[in-house]
Amino acid sequence: MLQPPRTPEKIELIRLHAATCFSMTQFINGHHCPKLGHLIVRQLSLLVAHPDLEDASASRDMYLQLLEHWQKVTSHLLEQQVMRTQSAKFH
């Protein structure tokens, strides 16, 4: 089966998807830091906004759901970090 040629935009989309999956895997494997959370949110934002996803609404919807989830995760991590910092000041 012949596949359409990969354009630079399509290659960018594939790389961004792979990088996002790798970042999520790092997080799941124990690197629970806000910086990594922010990176994942940024990568997902780029995926949602990618022009090649305009025609692929199912993929775009999936990335939107993931973006919302990772925004909540990152917000929670930041709250925990603030609480730890405040707790350390009082001890």
66: in domain: yes
Closest by CA to 13, choosing from 38, 48, 40, is 48
7: in domain: no
pLDDT tens digits for range 32-69: 889 999 999 999 999 999 988 876 688 899 999 999 99
12: in domain: no
Structural domain of 68 = 18-90
22: in domain: yes
Q: Beta-carbon neighbour count of residue 48 at 10 Å?
A: 16
Q: How many CA atoms lie within 13 A of 62 on its CB side?
A: 6
Contact partners, residue 33, CB within 8 Å, separation at least 6 = 77
31: in domain: yes
23: in domain: yes
61: in domain: yes
| Average pLDDT across the chain, whole number | 89
The total domain count for the chain is 1
Cα Rg of the chain (Å, integer) = 17
13: in domain: no
Tokens of 87: 């707790």
